[in-house]
Structure 1
C-alpha cells in the first residue's frame, strides 16, 4: 500500500538532485575503475580495447544498480528519491487501468472513485514536487469536479492511500 506524504517541493528537489549526483559520481568512478582494470588486465597496448572499456562500463553500471537497490535504497539521503519513484510507480499502476477506472467512475463505483481521487492527489503532488505547474493547471477543473461528485455521494475525498486490492478489483476479468 502506498500513501501520499506531505513534502516540501524545494527540499524534495534539492535532496533528489543530491542523491542523483551521488549515484552518478559513483557510477562514473566504478565505470572508469572497471574499464581501466579490464584494459590493464586483458587489453593490448596500442590495440583496440573498446570491448574491455564497454565491459568495464557495463560492470560499473550493474554494480551501481546493485548498490542502489541493495545498500542505498533504505538510506535517509535516498528517501525523497525513493518516495518519488514509488509515487510515480503508483500513478503508473492507476494509469494502466485508467479505462476501467473512468468507466466505473461513470457508473458511480465507490472503489473507482477512490482510485481516481488518489490519482488526482498523487498527480497534483508529483507536479508540485517536479515544479511542473502548467500540467497542474490543466488538471484543476477535472479534479474539482470529481471531488464535488465524491462529496455528493458521501465519499471521503482525502484518498491519500492506494490499496493494490482496489486496482485488482478494477481490472477486467478474462473469459
Structure 2
C-alpha cells in the first residue's frame, strides 16, 4: 500500500539531482573499468576492440541494475527518488483504468471516489515536486469539485493511501 508523504519540493529536487549524479558517476566508472578490463583480457594490441568496449558497457549496465535493486534502492540517499518512482507508478496504475474510474465516480461508488481523490492528491504532489505548474489550475478545479462532492456524501477527503483493493474492484467492474 503506497502512502503520500509530505515532502519539501526544493529538498526533493536537490536530493534527486545528487542521487542521479552519484548513479551516473558510478555507472561511468564501472563502464570504463569493465571496458578496460575486457580489452586488457581479451583484446588485441592495436586491433579492433570495439566489441570488448561495448561488452564492458553492457556488463556495467547489468551490474548497475543489480546494484540499484539490491543495494542502492534501500539507501537513505536514494529515498526521494524511490518515493517519486513509487508515486508515479501508483498514479500510472490509476491512469490505466481512468475511464472505468470516472464512470464509477459518476455512478457514486465511494471506493472509486476515494481512489480519484488519492489520484488528485498524488498528481498534485507530483506536479509540485517536479516543479510543473502548467496543469495546476485545471487540476485544482477538478480537485475542488470532487472534494465538495465527497464532503456532501460524507466521505473522508484525506485519502493519502492507495488501497490496492480499490483498483482490483474497479478492474472487476463490468465494462
TM-score under structure 1 normalisation?
Answer: 0.96
1:13 and 2:13 aligned: yes
Distance 1:141 1:70 in 2: 42
2:131 matched residue in structure 1: 131
Q: Is the 8 A contact 1:100 1:172 kept in 2?
A: no
Q: Which runs of 5+ in 2 are unaligned?
A: none
2:104 matched residue in structure 1: 104
Higher mean Cα deviation, 129-138 or 158-167?
129-138
Q: Is the 8 A contact 1:39 1:52 kept in 2?
A: yes
How large is the RMSD of aligned CA atoms in angstroms? 1.3
Cα drift, residue 165 of structure 1:
1.0
Q: Is the 8 A contact 1:118 1:162 kept in 2?
A: yes
CA deviations 1:5-40 (Å, max 9, x no partner) are 000000000001111111110000000100111011
Cα drift, residue 173 of structure 1:
5.6
Q: Which runs of 5+ in 1 are unaligned?
A: none
Cα drift, residue 174 of structure 1:
7.8
TM-score under structure 2 normalisation?
Answer: 0.96
1:143 and 2:143 aligned: yes
Secondary structure in 2 matching 1:46? coil
Secondary structure in 2 matching 1:171? helix
Q: Is the 8 A contact 1:3 1:160 kept in 2?
A: yes
1:162 and 2:159 aligned: no
